[in-house]
Amino acid sequence: MDPSDVAAIMLEPIQGDGGFIVLSDAFVKGVREICNQHGIVMITDEIQTGFGRSGKMFAMEHFSVSSDITVMSKSIAAGIPLSAVSGKSEIINYPNPKELGGTLSGNPLACLAGLNVIKMIEQQDLLKRANEIGEQIKKVLDFPSKYIGEIRGIGAMIGIEFVNDKKEKGSNKQFVQQVVRNCFEKGVLLLMAADGNVIRLLPPLVITDEQLQEALQIMKTVIQDLEEEN
């Protein structure tokens, strides 16, 4: 494709539904260079990674690269529906009044919630807490396993990839389904990602150590028991 036909390139610094795949530093910087060279707008999707989940306010900070436009939502208002778009002034201020609008734009309650979330992140040092959560997850779940192929992620965004065999790899979706079902029966809710072979862990940044450890120990026991059965 000719660069002149490309208006923008959008990327997730950490792929969410794709299985918590962290983009490489070289890739992100390479995309930035391409955009600079050809006058292409670089848009980052921080809807899932934003507001502290990766251990920094925005995941792009891990790559020391800034985008032209950032879109965000999910955790920015503690469960109250709110989304936001930020970017360079020459882009954000380009539309004339009334050329952009939204039915729920500027909702006072959601905006107030968003402001208080920012205060809580700062006051409770939740960026540091995100990294502590990630370390605890890795420490508990990094044990000898037949089917855990990789534990990856940044901050509190951790993905556990399950394979059929350590050497041959392959996607072990069936085992993941068993883990999710058995953990659910023991009171732990888990989310699958990628093509169903990854368990995505993204606990609240305000979770206590006791709550986190209880969930992780249940998950570890379930995995070990199922591996013995298989």
**One-character DSSP codes across the chain:** --GGG--EEEE-SEETTTTSEEPPHHHHHHHHHHHHHHTPEEEEE-TTTTTTTTSSSSGGGGGT---SEEEE-GGGGTTS---EEEE-HHHHT-SPTTSS--TTTT-HHHHHHHHHHHHHHHHTTHHHHHHHHHHHHHHHH-S--SSEEEEEEETTEEEEEEEEETTTEEE-HHHHHHHHHHHHHTT---EEETTTTEEEE---TT--HHHHHHHHHHHHHHHHHHHHH-
| pLDDT of res. 230 | 84
Which residues is 10 bridged to in the sheet?
A: 43
Tell me, which fold does domain 3-123 have in CATH? Aspartate Aminotransferase; domain 2 (3.40.640)
Is the pTM above the cut of 0.85? yes
Residue 9 pLDDT greater than 90, yes or no:
yes
Distance CA 207, CA 211 (A): 6
Domain boundaries, the chain: 3-123, 126-229
Residues 6+ apart with CB under 8 A from 140: 213, 216, 217, 219, 220
For residue range 182-228, list pLDDT tens digits in order: 999 999 999 999 999 999 999 999 999 999 999 999 999 999 999 99
Q: According to the model, what pLDDT value does residue 192 have?
A: 95
C-beta of residue 70 within 8 angstroms of C-beta of residue 60: yes
Give the per-residue pLDDT at 158: 97
Q: How far, CA to CA in Å, does 77 sit from each of 74, 118, 150?
A: 7, 9, 32
15-59 pLDDT per residue, tens: 999 999 999 999 999 999 999 999 999 999 999 999 999 999 999
pLDDT at 78: 87
pLDDT of residue 104: 73
What is 126-229's CATH number? 3.90.1150.10
> pLDDT tens for residues 70-117?
999 998 998 899 999 999 999 999 999 888 877 777 889 999 999 999
